[in-house]
């Protein structure tokens, strides 16, 4: 996994609540057996019409909005456990998703793929939407070391929470399997002493 460094970037605003994983990546695109290529189908049903042409009114099809950061409405990523949602977001080129609330499984899947979910207050979120509406060139700075997100238009800044273990993993580019494998003897000891073995 790539190490996570401070990001200063324009962002793509998606002011919709309850964006579920079926919107992020519809089920018919889940037939692949590798992790590649999902970015092209990110938000497919919002992004393309029936013939597969880009719908001009969808934000990803508006060349004014780019960047490594997706800013979305409350309760982002609800629904299915499909990690394809995280692969699609990463595949498109996002490293950070900002929202006022994330669904649990999505948050885990994102972190396991080097995507940082940043939880901000409702007012900070609407501030970001307002700023990009006024000027698509508006940027944010995300500093993981300090756990801060700053709107570079208004200068307002917020601190976000992240589990210290996950923070370390992201900063160092490590993953959980390395950690679990280093614990094999603990697992075997557990298997000997557990209260009831199935």
Q: Please give the Cα distance from 141 to 41 (Å, whole number).
A: 27
Is residue 178 classed as helix, strand or coil in its secondary structure?
helix
Is residue 3 part of the contact set for another protein (CB under 8 A)? no
Structure tokens at 102: 């994330």
We find the least distance from the C-beta atom of residue 171 to another protein, in angstroms, to be: 14
Site for another protein in 30-59 (CB under 8 A): 30-35, 45, 50
- Convert residues 135-174 into a mask of x (bound to another protein by CB under 8 A) and - (unbound): ----------------------------xxxx--------
Query: CB count, 10 Å around CB of 145?
Result: 10
Is residue 190 part of the contact set for another protein (CB under 8 A)? yes
Is residue 180 part of the contact set for another protein (CB under 8 A)? yes
Question: By C-alpha distance, which of 70, 72, 144 is closest to 103?
Answer: 72
- Convert residues 112-131 into a mask of x (bound to another protein by CB under 8 A) and - (unbound): xx--------x---x-----
Considering Cα of 112, then 82, then 67, then 156, what sign does the dihedral take? negative
Query: CB count, 10 Å around CB of 194?
Result: 9
Q: Please give the Cα distance from 194 to 57 (Å, whole number).
A: 57
Query: CB count, 10 Å around CB of 155?
Result: 7
DSSP β-bridge partners for residue 7: 142
Is residue 194 part of the contact set for another protein (CB under 8 A)? yes
Site for another protein in 68-107 (CB under 8 A): 73-75, 78-83, 86, 101-105
Instruction: Enumerate binding residues for another protein (CB under 8 A).
Output: 15-18, 20, 22-23, 26-28, 30-35, 45, 50, 73-75, 78-83, 86, 101-105, 108-109, 112-113, 122, 126, 163-166, 175-177, 179-181, 183-184, 186-187, 190-191, 194-196, 198
């Amino acid at each position: 996994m790539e190490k996570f460094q401070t990001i200063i970037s324009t962002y793509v605003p998606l002011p919709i609540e309850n964006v579920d994983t079926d919107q992020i990546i519809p089920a018919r695109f889940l037939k692949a057996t590798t992790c590649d290529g999902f970015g092209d189908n990110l938000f497919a049903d919002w992004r393309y019409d029936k013939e597969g042409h880009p719908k001009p009114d969808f934000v990803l099809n508006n060349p004014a909005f780019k960047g490594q950061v997706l800013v979305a409405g409350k309760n982002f990523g609800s629904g299915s456990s499909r990690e394809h949602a995280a692969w699609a977001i990463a595949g498109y080129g996002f490293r950070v998703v900002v929202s006022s609330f994330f669904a649990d499984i999505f948050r885990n899947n994102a972190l396991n793929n080097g995507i940082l979910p940043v939880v901000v207050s409702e007012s900070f979120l609407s501030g970001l939407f307002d700023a990009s509406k006024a000027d698509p060139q508006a940027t944010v700075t995300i500093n993981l070391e300090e756990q801060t997100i700053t709107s570079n238009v208004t200068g307002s800044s917020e601190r976000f929470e992240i589990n210290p273990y996950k923070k370390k993993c992201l900063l160092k580019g490590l993953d959980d399997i390395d950690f679990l494998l280093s614990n094999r003897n603990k697992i075997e000891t557990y298997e000997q002493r557990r209260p009831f073995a199935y």
